[in-house]
């Protein structure tokens, strides 16, 4: 029997589907595979309390900083429409024991589901409505709290309390519109501490903090559009000034599919800059799965009748005493060999950079059967080395055909039935193409299976809470303090002639409004102020020179101080390093410390004359053409703060003309 | 009966639905001043206002539409939901014990009630098996729905029906009894059955849940598994309450029906044995007695059913400066027995004395229990106590107030002779008065103390 060369197969199949890296990819590549993508943007709101109890929001603890633990198991329940949700049943199969760590400072009996919810936090509700108004969505008349089931244990109730605030809206990006499906207000979930075998540990500090989820239609046709939409939503949320920032405060779920594929949801992407690579690879993964589907259909006549042949490897099968089997048996695990008819060339088929189809199986063994990796080996291991020598022997033992592939898996006895089911199920899903999954993101741009994608069947009305009316008066009141539209902010920055490299920073920190106020209230040029903040201040911030507790409002104070001192904007440049180094800077003494001289126009003119006279001494090569620039350079610092450079130049030019 | 096309809608909202000819479960496009909304019209809870219409939108969420904003509604389809727990026939196997599950209502299995927006109980062996298939690994279960009432609506009539039904099942050779019950008055029913079903040869286990089974983290399934283990396999042939030990999904307690009380409005571990330790712990497949003495399972069928109850029995919670008219009005209204829940060691104020004297004159039985829940009535310690005893008030030791109320009703249901009633009251049937309170029978630790904090960090409460 010929041995397959898995590495070659991996490379060939990557060629076959026409995988290109993101750098190489062109618009045509995305058209070819039918890239389609949308977003679910989660944004924590800056409130004092959590959403359904009065625990403080925004306090985080270390993993081992807890006062007590509670253990729970999750069971699937019926939806309101009377059916079980697919994910729910899968999660139930995994039989996880969930431990919640409670710190008395941040969790009460509500977090561990021993007390029904208290009325929704009004502050959070109002912020959510404000953002819905800013996105110009259709706001509901009555907010209904809904339970969205999550059986992974990330919420001790087994569901997330969530409520729709608004539906339908539109974002205007540079070259396209992206439609919004809905915006909901919901409670945040637990943070995972660990997940090993059948035990998963969570901490409850973040649990219950209010966040909003903005969901778009899958309107983005390239990874870059997707990132742009994510940025836009981030700017929109931040424009209210009432959302949290920092690590984990904003998280994106990215929905991706390719033509003929299915929606896969990449969960909890912490950085927008990761989105393009992840969505790119996911679309190609789906494209690869479609290729696998057609190969399987070619190899296997009757997919409905397909099943794997299994045979247990016990101590007696001495011929298989190679490392993984040996150590598994020594641990007391059961070891199962499976023959997968018609799967030759499938296991080592390319799926993602550095990943093959066999990884999809191994990932599911970890998640569904709770068997830690390494949990299997197979006849098409790329890094398999000498293991591969064993598989021809195994194939004979399993009476396999040349077109088959083999897997050896191992795990605790009680997990083996689920494990075998899981392998068969994944192959059967491959006959259909792309399974609906939520996937976990990795920094290298690849993803792995996390859960079966839940459907609408997991929604259930929250029988513990009352609907909340959103009255017209409420909308009018909240509408009065609306932030300016993000699209308008872009236009505004363009009008100010601000360099584009300041835009992103100013929007993401919600500083455009500050520039506007400094300009409107104090009469400074918005371009000058924008550059001062968007370049100079940002650079100080980036280098960690800004004191903890320094509020952006101090920048306003700084310019107000300059106006008061009748100084020009450029002075800010020399004051900034000292000013931002303290939370409450004393501008007056900082200014004194610079030794700034308040030159008058007459002083500048006199100095210009002196300089002009000195130039021939300074200029060794006798080239008089450099005179004007040299004089400007000398006068620049002298004029700083009181005389505009344009006026200095005029004075110098005049002087030189007269001399000519 | 004509189909109700507008379930729960009333007033203005109903008028709007009728005006645009849109039904509940109809799919509708709703144009409003706040934009277009699409979804399925859902029934509305009767207790909510008549200013909003509820719809389920495509993503599965429910939202309300303010009728004042509605410009137009168009029905585009119709799709009535059919809520049903999947019914599967409960499998039978010869090698498993036979357990009968009586349903009374409560949240063991439940479904959404659109009328009130709350959950209502659902119950049949098939539904139960569909929801908790593991039960089939424990025992053979047959079910019978005796009533469908919330716990707070249970009362003497239901106690009597239950007792007789249990008696019949025992005569027919059942191996164990389970009773599904709402939790609020679970301990009242447990006490009633302790008195009405005596000398049972098999376990009688009352079980409920603190989180309804429509929630993934419900305690219902585990409680049912524990209860069926105790009923089918356990050796303790008493009336017991089976509920969570800690709030964690770890083990259950079997509490003696006469010593158990609901102690927290919402915790899963709400039921506690008062003034003693529980009879046993129960885990999947294992009942572990922690009381040394209990009534063991027997093979005979010599159960004694005593379904008696006099409903003219009441309970009064004493407060400072209570007026005698509180007692007088009870006597005026024909009450034959009064349980006083007194302060401290069992006291009321002097102002009540004349009324207590009248109660004695008019043959009304008056018994004393404690607001402190833990401890014994000690009426010899203070003069007040002695005064009251002289006026015919009888101390009930460490009998819990709710248990005393049940027992007095049961005793007066058997006889009018107050001496006989006294004999019945003071003769424990199954631990309602204990001779001693063990040191570990009263454990209400307080947080904040280092050693307690250390303990609850390690041990699941």
Q: Coil, strand or helix: which one is A170?
A: strand
Q: What is the ipTM score, two decimals?
A: 0.90
Instruction: Summarize the confidence of residues A233-252 as an average pLDDT.
Output: 92
Instruction: Tell me which chain A residues have a C-beta less than 8 angstroms from the C-beta of B68.
Output: 472
Three-state DSSP string of A572-602: HHHHHHHHCCCCCCCHHHHHHHHCCCCCCHH
A462-488 pLDDT, tens digit each:
888 899 999 999 999 999 888 888 888
CA-based torsion, A412, A414, A417, A421: positive or negative:
negative
Output the average pLDDT for chain A: 90
Residue A393 has pLDDT above 60, yes or no: yes
Which positions in chain A touch B71 (Cβ < 8 Å)?
none
Query: How many Å apart are CA A300 and CA B161, to the nearest integer?
Result: 64
User: Residues 435..474 of A with a Cβ closer than 8 Å to B: which?
Assistant: 455-461, 463, 466-467, 469-472
Is the model's pLDDT at A143 over the cut of 90?
A: yes
Residue B300 annotated among the catalytic residues of the structure: no
Break chain A down into helix, strand, coil percent, rounded to 5: 40, 20, 35
| pLDDT of A630 above 90 | no
Judged by CB atoms closer than 8 Å, whether chains meet at B249 and A469 is answered as no
The fraction of chain B above a pLDDT of 90, given in percent, is: 75
Q: So what's the pLDDT on residue A426?
A: 96
Interface check for A476 against chain B (CB to CB < 8 A): the answer is: no
Backbone angles phi, psi at A236, to 5 degrees: -60, -50
| Distance, CA of B424 to CA of B433 (rounded, Å) | 12
pLDDT score at B433:
97
What does A195-211 look like in DSSP terms, one character per residue?
A: EETTEEEEE-SSTT-EE
Contact B267 A73 (CB under 8 A): no
CA distance A166 to A58: 25
pLDDT digits 0-9 by tens, B366-411: 999 999 999 999 988 778 788 888 899 999 999 999 999 999 999 9
CA distance B361 to chain A (A): 48
- pLDDT confidence of A338, banded at 50, 70, 90? very high
Cα-based distances in Å from A1 to A9, A194, A403, B17: 17, 44, 10, 73
* Closest residue by Cα to residue B267 from B219, B205, B206: B219
Distance from CA of A199 to the nearest CA of B (A): 13
Q: Is the pLDDT higher at A364 or at A484?
A: A364
Name chain A contacts of B59, Cβ cutoff 8 Å: 164, 181-182, 215, 456, 459
What is the average pLDDT score of chain B? Answer: 91
Q: Which residues contact A425 (CB under 8 A, 6 or more apart)?
A: A364
* pLDDT band, residue A247 (cuts 50/70/90): confident
Query: Residue A289 and residue B422: Cα distance in Å, rounded?
Result: 81
Please check the confidence at residue A510 and state whether its pLDDT lies above 50. yes
Q: To the nearest whole angstrom, how far is the Cα of B113 from the nearest Cα of chain A?
A: 9
B69 assigned to active site: no
Q: Which residues of A touch B87 (CB under 8 A)?
A: none
Residue A380 has pLDDT above 90, yes or no: yes
Backbone angles phi, psi at B414, to 5 degrees: -100, -30
Chain A contact present for B34, CB below 8 A = yes
What local confidence, expressed as pLDDT, does residue B268 receive? 95
Residue A1: the pLDDT is: 44
Of B104, B183, B273, B369, the active-site residue reads B183
Q: Does A283 touch chain B (CB under 8 A)?
A: no
Do the beta carbons of residue B228 and residue B248 sit within 8 Å?
A: no
Please identify among residues 105-144 of chain B the ones whose CB lies closer than 8 Å to any CB of chain A.
Answer: 111-112, 117-119
Is the pLDDT at A84 greater than 60, yes or no?
A: no
Output the six-digit token pair for B151: 């716990």
Mean pLDDT of B233-245: 97
The answer for B 261-290 residues in CB contact with A (under 8 A) is 264, 266-268
pLDDT of residue B145: 83
Task: List phi, psi (to 5°) of B304.
Answer: -115, 115
Residues B281-305, mean pLDDT to the nearest whole number: 95
Angle of the A500-508 helix axis to the A486-495 helix axis, nearest 10:
140
**CA–CA separation, A117 vs A133, rounded Å?**
27
pLDDT of residue B112: 54
Residues A595-624, mean pLDDT to the nearest whole number = 81
Q: How far is B183 from chain A (nearest CA, A)?
A: 14
B358 touches chain A (CB under 8 A): no
Q: Do B216 and A77 touch (CB under 8 A)?
A: yes
Chain A positions touching B32 (Cβ under 8 A) are 138, 141
Q: Report whether pLDDT(A64) > 90.
A: yes
Q: Among B29, B50, B137, B184, which one carries the catalytic annotation?
A: B184
CB proximity A393 to B under 8 Å: no
B157 belongs to the catalytic site: no
The predicted-structure confidence for A197-218, as pLDDT tens digits, reads as follows 999 999 999 999 999 999 999 9
- Would you call B61 an interface residue with chain A, using a CB distance cutoff of 8 Å? yes
CA B66 to CA A139: how far, in whole Å?
A: 10
What is the band of A277 on the pLDDT scale with cuts at 50, 70, 90?
A: very high
Q: Do A141 and B117 touch (CB under 8 A)?
A: no
Q: How far is CA A358 from CA A374, A513, B249, in A?
A: 12, 52, 36
Closest approach of B98 to chain A, Cα-based (Å)? 26
Q: B205-224 burial, b if ≥16 CB within 10 A, otherwise e?
A: bbbbbbbbbbbbbbbbbbbb
pLDDT at A264 over 90: yes
Taking contacts as CB-CB distances below 8 angstroms, the residues of chain A near B249 are: 71-73, 97
The span from the CA of B207 to the CA of A373, in Å, is 41
Burial of residue A551 (CB within 10 Å: 0-12, 13-18, 19+) is exposed
Q: How far apart are CA B295 and CA A396, in angstroms?
A: 63
**Token pair of A371 as six digits:** 């068997």
Percent of chain A past pLDDT 90, that is, above it, reads: 68
Look at A52-66, B79-93, B194-208 and tell me which has the smallest mean pLDDT.
Answer: B79-93
* B-chain residues near A185 (CB < 8 A): none
Phi, psi angles (nearest 5°) of residue B27: -85, 135
Least confident of A222-236, A333-347, B39-53, B256-270: B39-53
Cβ atoms of residues A416 and A334 within 8 Å: yes
User: Which residues of chain A does B57 touch, with a Cβ-Cβ cutoff of 8 Å?
Assistant: 164, 167, 182
Q: Is A154 on the interface with B (CB under 8 A)?
A: no
Average pLDDT over residues A559-587: 91
The pLDDT of residue B59 is above 70: yes
Task: List all residues 6 or more positions away from B447 whose beta carbon is below 8 Å from its beta carbon.
Answer: A104, B453, B456
B249: nearest CA partner in chain A? A72
Task: Quote the pLDDT of residue A527.
Answer: 95
CB–CB contact A149 B111 (8 Å): no
> Cα–Cα distances in Å, from B156 out to A324, A535, B423?
67, 80, 22
What is the predicted pLDDT for the residue at A387?
A: 61
Tell whether the model's pLDDT for residue A501 goes beyond 70.
yes
Give residue B115's pLDDT.
47
> Distance from first CA to last CA of chain A, Å, rounded?
95
A157 Cβ under 8 Å from any chain B Cβ: yes
Mutate to test the interface with A, among B39, B41, B63, B211 (most CBs of A within 10 A): B63
Distance of CA B249 to the CA centre of its chain: 20
Q: What is the DSSP string of B133-189?
A: TTHHHH-EEEEEE-----GGG--HHHHHHHHHHHHHHHHTT-SEEEEE--STTHHHH
Q: According to the model, what pLDDT value does residue A400 have?
A: 94
Beta bridge partners of A65: none
What pLDDT score was predicted for residue A640? 83
DSSP B353-420: HHHHHHHHHTT-EEEEEETTSSS---TTSSHHHHHHHHTT-EE-TT--HHHHHHHHHHHHTT-S-HHH
Active site residue B107: yes
Looking at B96, B100, B262, B407, which residue is catalytic?
Answer: B262
CB neighbourhood size of A553 (10 A)? 10
Tell me what the mean pLDDT of segment A271-296 comes to.
96
Q: Is A71 within 8 Å of chain B by CB?
A: yes
**Are the C-beta atoms of A162 and A150 separated by less than 8 Å?**
no
Q: Which residues make beta-bridge pairs with A164? A: A184
The alpha-helical segments, DSSP class H, found in A24-137 are 27-33, 86-94, 122-134
Over the range B356-393, which residues count as b (16 or more CB within 10 Å of their CB) and which as e? beebeeeebbbbbbbeebebbbebeeeebbeebeebbb
Higher pLDDT, A264 or A394: A264
Q: What pLDDT was estimated at residue B46?
A: 81
Could you tell me if A258 and A35 are in contact, meaning their C-beta atoms sit under 8 angstroms apart? yes
B456: nearest CB among A68, A459, A470: A68
Reference A339, options A397, A419, A417; nearest CA is A397
Q: B109, B217, B458: best mutation site toward chain A, by most A Cβ within 10 Å?
A: B217
Q: Residue range B93-103: average pLDDT?
A: 93
Predicted TM-score (pTM) of this structure: 0.86
Chain B partners within 8 Å of A80 (Cβ)? 56, 81, 83, 112
* Alpha-carbon gap: B378 to the closest alpha carbon of chain A (Å): 36
Least confident of A23-32, B89-98, B140-149, B432-441: B140-149
pLDDT at position A411: 94
B65 — contact with chain A (CB < 8 Å)? yes
Q: Do A113 and B36 touch (CB under 8 A)?
A: no
Parse chain A into domains and list their residue ranges.
6-16+296-432, 34-257, 484-594, 601-659
Which residue among A73, A137, A182 places its CB closest to the CB of B59?
A182
Strand A36-44 and strand A210-216: the pairing is: antiparallel
Indicate the CATH number for domain A6-16+296-432: 3.30.1360.30
Q: What are B188-223's pLDDT values in tens digits?
A: 999 999 999 999 999 999 998 898 777 888 898 899
**Reduced DSSP (H G I as helix, E B as strand, rest coil) percent helix, strand, coil of chain B, to 5:** 30, 25, 50
**SS3 state of residue B117:** coil
Q: How many CB pairs under 8 A join A and B?
A: 174
Q: Rounded to whole angstroms, how far apart are CA atoms B349 and B368?
A: 13
d(CA A543, CA B359): 86
Residues of A in contact with B214 (CB under 8 A): 77-78, 460, 463
């Amino acid at each position: 029997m010929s041995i397959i060369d898995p590495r070659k197969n991996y490379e060939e199949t990557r060629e076959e589907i026409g995988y290109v890296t993101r750098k190489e990819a062109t618009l045509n590549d995305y058209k070819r595979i039918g890239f389609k993508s949308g977003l679910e943007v989660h944004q924590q709101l800056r409130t004092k309390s959590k959403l359904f109890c009065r625990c403080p929001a925004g306090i985080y603890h270390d993993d081992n900083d807890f006062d007590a633990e509670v253990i729970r198991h999750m069971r699937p329940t019926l939806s309101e429409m009377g059916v079980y949700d697919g994910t729910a049943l899968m999660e139930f199969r995994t039989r996880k024991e969930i431990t919640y760590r409670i710190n008395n400072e941040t969790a009460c009996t509500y977090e561990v589901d021993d007390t029904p919810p208290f009325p929704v936090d009004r502050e959070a509700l109002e912020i959510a409505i404000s953002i819905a108004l800013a996105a110009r969505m259709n706001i509901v008349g009555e907010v209904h709290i809904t339970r969205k089931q999550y059986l992974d244990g990330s919420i001790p109730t087994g569901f997330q309390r969530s409520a729709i605030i608004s539906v339908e809206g539109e974002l205007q990006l540079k070259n396209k519109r992206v439609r919004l499906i809905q915006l909901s207000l919901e409670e945040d979930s637990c943070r995972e501490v660990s997940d090993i075998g059948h035990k998963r540990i969570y901490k409850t500090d973040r649990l219950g903090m209010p966040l909003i989820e903005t969901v778009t239609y899958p309107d983005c046709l390239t990874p870059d559009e997707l990132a742009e939409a994510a940025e836009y939503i981030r700017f929109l949320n931040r424009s209210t000034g009432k959302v949290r920032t920092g690590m984990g405060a904003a998280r994106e779920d990215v929905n991706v599919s390719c033509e003929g594929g299915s929606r896969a949801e990449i969960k909890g992407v912490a950085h927008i800059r990761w989105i393009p690579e992840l969505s790119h690879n996911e679309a190609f993964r789906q494209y690869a799965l479609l290729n696998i589907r057609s190969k399987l259909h070619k190899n296997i006549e009757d997919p409905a009748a397909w099943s794997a042949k299994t045979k247990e490897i016990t101590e007696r099968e001495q011929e298989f005493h190679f490392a993984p089997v040996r150590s598994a048996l020594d641990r007391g695990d059961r070891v199962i060999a499976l023959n997968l008819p018609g799967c030759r060339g499938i296991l080592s088929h390319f799926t993602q950079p550095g990943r093959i189809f066999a990884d999809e199986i191994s990932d599911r063994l970890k998640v569904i059967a709770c068997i830690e990796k390494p949990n299997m080996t197979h006849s098409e291991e790329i890094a398999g080395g000498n293991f591969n020598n064993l598989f021809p022997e195994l194939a004979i033992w399993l009476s396999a055909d040349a077109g088959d592939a083999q897997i050896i898996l191992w795990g605790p006895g009680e997990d083996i039935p689920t494990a075998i089911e899981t392998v068969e199920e994944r192959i059967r899903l491959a006959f259909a193409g792309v399974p609906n999954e939520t996937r976990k993101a990795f920094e290298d741009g690849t993803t792995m299976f996390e859960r079966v994608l839940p459907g609408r069947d997991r929604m259930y009305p929250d029988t513990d809470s009352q609907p909340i009316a959103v009255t017209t008066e409420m909308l009018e009141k909240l509408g009065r303090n609306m932030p300016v539209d993000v699209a308008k902010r872009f236009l505004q920055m363009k009008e100010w002639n601000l360099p584009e490299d300041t835009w992103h920073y100013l929007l993401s920190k919600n500083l455009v409004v500050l520039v506007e106020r400094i300009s409107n209230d104090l009469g400074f040029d918005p371009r000058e102020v924008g550059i001062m903040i968007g370049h100079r201040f940002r650079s100080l911030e980036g280098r960690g020179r800004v004191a903890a507790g320094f509020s952006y409002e101090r920048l306003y104070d700084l310019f107000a101080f300059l106006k008061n001192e009748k100084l020009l904007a450029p002075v800010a440049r020399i004051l900034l390093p000292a000013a931002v180094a303290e939370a409450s800077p004393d501008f007056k003494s900082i200014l004194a410390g610079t030794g700034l001289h308040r030159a008058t126009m007459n002083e500048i003119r006199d100095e210009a004359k002196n300089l002009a006279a000195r130039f021939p001494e300074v200029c060794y090569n006798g080239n008089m053409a450099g005179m004007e620039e040299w004089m400007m350079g000398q006068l620049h610092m002298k004029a700083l703060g009181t005389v505009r450079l344009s006026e200095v130049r005029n004075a110098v030019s005049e002087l030189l003309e007269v001399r000519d | 009966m004509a189909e109700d096309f507008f379930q729960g809608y009333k007033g203005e909202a109903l008028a709007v639905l009728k005006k645009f000819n849109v039904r509940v479960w109809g799919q509708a496009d709703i144009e409003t001043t706040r934009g277009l909304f699409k979804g399925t019209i859902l029934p509305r809870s009767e207790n909510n206002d008549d200013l909003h219409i509820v719809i389920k939108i495509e993503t599965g969420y429910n939202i309300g539409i303010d009728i004042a904003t509605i410009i137009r509604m168009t029905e585009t389809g119709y799709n009535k939901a059919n809520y049903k727990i999947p019914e599967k026939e409960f499998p039978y196997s010869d090698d498993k014990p036979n357990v009968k599950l009586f349903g009374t209502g409560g949240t063991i299995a439940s479904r959404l009630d659109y009328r009130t927006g709350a959950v209502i109980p659902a119950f049949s062996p098939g539904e139960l098996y569909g929801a908790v298939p593991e039960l089939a690994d424990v025992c053979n279960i047959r079910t019978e729905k005796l009533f469908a009432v919330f716990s707070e609506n249970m009362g003497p009539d239901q106690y009597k029906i239950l007792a007789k039904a249990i008696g019949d099942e025992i005569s027919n050779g059942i191996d164990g009894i389970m009773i599904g019950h709402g939790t609020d008055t679970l301990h009242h029913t447990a006490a009633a059955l302790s008195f009405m079903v005596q000398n049972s040869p098999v376990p009688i286990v009352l079980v409920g849940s603190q989180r309804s089974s429509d929630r993934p983290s419900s305690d219902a399934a585990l409680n049912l598994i524990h209860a069926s283990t105790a009923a089918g396999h356990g050796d303790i042939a008493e009336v017991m309450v089976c509920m969570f030990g800690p709030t964690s999904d770890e083990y259950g307690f079997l509490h003696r029906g006469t010593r158990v009380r609901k102690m927290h409005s919402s915790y899963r571990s709400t039921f506690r044995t008062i003034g003693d330790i529980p009879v046993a712990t129960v885990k999947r497949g294992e009942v572990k007695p922690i009381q040394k003495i209990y009534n063991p399972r027997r093979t005979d069928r010599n159960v004694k059913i005593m379904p008696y109850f006099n409903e003219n029995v009441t309970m009064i919670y004493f407060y400072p400066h209570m007026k005698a008219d509180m007692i007088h009005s009870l006597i005026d209204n024909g009450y034959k027995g009064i349980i006083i829940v007194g302060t401290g060691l069992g006291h009321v104020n002097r102002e009540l004395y004349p009324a207590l004297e009248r109660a004695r004159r008019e043959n009304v039985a008056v018994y004393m229990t404690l607001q402190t829940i833990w401890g014994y009535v000690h009426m010899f310690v203070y003069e007040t106590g002695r005064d009251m005893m002289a006026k015919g008030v009888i101390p009930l030791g460490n009998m819990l107030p709710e248990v005393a109320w049940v027992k007095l009703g049961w005793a007066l249901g058997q006889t009018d002779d107050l001496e006989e009633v006294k004999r019945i009251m003071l003769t424990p049937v199954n631990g309602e008065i204990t001779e001693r309170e063990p040191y570990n029978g009263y454990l209400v630790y307080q947080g904040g103390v280092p050693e307690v904090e250390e303990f609850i960090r390690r041990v699941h409460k």
